[in-house]
Amino acid sequence: MVDDILRTPGAVRDAERWTAHNYHPLPVVISSAEGAWLTDVDGRRYLDCLAGYSALNFGHRHPQLIAAAHAQLDRLTLTSRAFIHDQFADFCRELAELCGKDLVLPMNTGAEAVETGIKVARKWGYQVKGVAPGQANIVVAEGNFHGRTTTIVSFSTDEDARADFGPYTPGFTVVPYGDLDALAAAIDENTVAVLLEPIQGEQGVVVPPEGYLPGVRQVCTERDVLFIADEIQSGLGRTGATFACDHEGVVPDMYLLGKALGGGIVPVSAVAANADVLGVLKPGQHGSTFGGNPLACAVAVEVVRLLATGEFQRRSAELGERLRAGLEGLVGKGLVAVRVRGLWAGLDIDPALMSGREACERLAARGVLAKDTHGSTIRLAPPLVITEEEIDLAVNALAEVLAG
């Protein structure tokens, strides 16, 4: 087909014309999806190996989630937190139980959950730990990605994310990721929290050395500091467990959740923690008009129920081994290194061969959609409903791309 009878080029041009250029999307225009598959405006099908940056862990339009959304749309969509609605308690209780925590605070986006975690930790620091007013600090890691608000980009080490957005919020100390001694040395009497991704997703699925997370847990306990785990991308089944922290038997003081919590339908995020931590918030001190709305709760409680079966965590662990085997077979054949946890993989392509962007363009031409993270690193995060055959399809497409 030639360009003038394809709908894609015009749709790409229109999108470019009418939006700020804060993304550099692949030139693919999606119009429908089901499970692990996407269809574009010209009828071409693609295997989704990004899953909305892990927001679509249960695949596109999972029947149980879509049914819950439809039913809720027909009854009640929004009340604000000025009133209580009939979907609220079940969602909060079931999510708290999944997390093994006393309480849940629902918000909308991941960045809002992170902001909430920061605010709660600071207030806990002043009211419970006894930090002097205005002195609280939080230890974070190099290479972090926690979102895009002005406070969060203040402690980003990615210049693209940070530059020219100052003045920056003070009160953060950055240490190398995976270095327990550096982290322990950065903690002082005013440290209220350590905020970490248990696996750094945007950085290229970087898994810390074994023993790091348990070490962080121990240091935090000994020094009376909250351990905040940002599981917004790593959590909810992605790594073959409910939380990435589970792989090392670590329980943080606060879980930050988002992305997949909304079932790929609505933005839903949450902070889960015990009452001695989340209990520091009193009426009027924090909130969000849409946080915990009826539609969000109706969908998210079904997400929690899907996770409570354990089926998705199992699939992710089992199929992840197949993905690992396939990808490790490509090391030395165009891949320099791979890191795999469950159905989540970071691939370092030999930079002499091609950039991550080029690899993703070539994968798209073969019907597989993935996204580069930095330089020549790409990330695979397919929906957890992907099958063995589809994993093989993705690995074979990658092998073809690398072979040129």
DSSP class per residue in 347-378: EEE-TTT--HHHHHHHHHHTTEE-EE-STTEE
379 binds ligand PLP (CB under 6 A): no
- Cα–Cα distance measured from residue 129 to residue 123, given in angstroms and rounded to the nearest whole number: 9
Residue 348 is among the residues annotated as catalytic for this protein: no
Decide if 100 contacts 114 (C-beta within 8 A). no
Count CA atoms closer than 13 A to 116's CA, side-chain side: 30
Helices 388-403 and 311-328 pack at an angle, to 10 degrees, of 30
Q: Among 111, 281, 338, 347, which residue sits at the site for ligand PLP (rule: CB under 6 A)?
A: 111
Considering only residues 145, 177, 243, 290, which one is a binding residue for ligand PLP as defined by CB under 6 A? Answer: 145
Q: Choose the catalytic residue: 88, 145, 172, 290.
A: 145
List, as one string, the DSSP characters of 36-97.
TEEEETTS-EEEESSHHHHTTTT-BT-HHHHHHHHHHHTT-----TTS--TTHHHHHHHHHH
Give the CA distances from residue 180 to residues 10, 186, 216, 253, 349, in Å, rounded to whole numbers and listed in that order.
51, 10, 7, 18, 29
372 flagged as catalytic: no
Residue 25 Cβ vs ligand PLP, minimum distance, rounded to whole Å: 15
- Taking CB under 6 A as the criterion, the residue among 35, 125, 147, 356 binding ligand PLP is 147
Using the rule CB under 6 A, is 68 a contact of ligand PLP?
A: no
300 touches ligand PLP by CB under 6 A: no
Catalytic residue among 172, 259, 312, 348: 259
Nearer to ligand PLP, 125 or 201 (CB): 201
Q: H or E stretch including 14?
A: helix 8-17
Cβ proximity to ligand PLP: between 344 and 354 the closer is 344
Task: Work out whether 271 is an interface residue with ligand PLP (CB under 6 A).
Answer: no
Distance of CA 288 to the CA centre of its chain: 21
Q: Which of residues 188-217 bind ligand PLP (CB under 6 A)?
A: 197, 201-202
Please state the closest distance from residue 16 (CB atom) to ligand PLP, in A.
22
How far is residue 65's CA from residue 101's CA, in Å, rounded to a whole number?
A: 24
- Identify which of residues 11 and 307 has a Cβ nearer to ligand PLP in the complex: 307
Q: How many residues bind ligand PLP (CB under 6 A)?
A: 15
Residue 262 contacts ligand PLP per CB under 6 A: no
Candidate segments 81-89, 104-112, 207-215, 356-364, binder of ligand PLP by CB under 6 A: 104-112
259 an active-site residue? yes
Residues 226-245 that bind ligand PLP (CB under 6 A): 230, 232-233
Question: Smallest distance, Å, CB 204 to ligand PLP?
Answer: 12
Let me know: does 171 contact 136? Beta carbons within 8 Å: yes
Find all residues with CB under 8 Å of 285, minimum gap 6, and list them. Answer: 123
| Burial of residue 57, with CB atoms counted within 10 A of its CB: 0-12 exposed, 13-18 middle, 19 or more buried | buried
156 contributes a contact to ligand PLP by CB under 6 A: no
Residue 319 CA: distances (Å) to CA of 126, 194, 238, 276: 46, 32, 11, 39
CB closest to ligand PLP, residue no: 110
40, 230, 348, 372: which is the annotated catalytic residue?
230
Q: Which residues bind ligand PLP (CB under 6 A)?
A: 53, 109-111, 114, 145-147, 197, 201-202, 230, 232-233, 258
Catalytic residues: 145, 230, 259
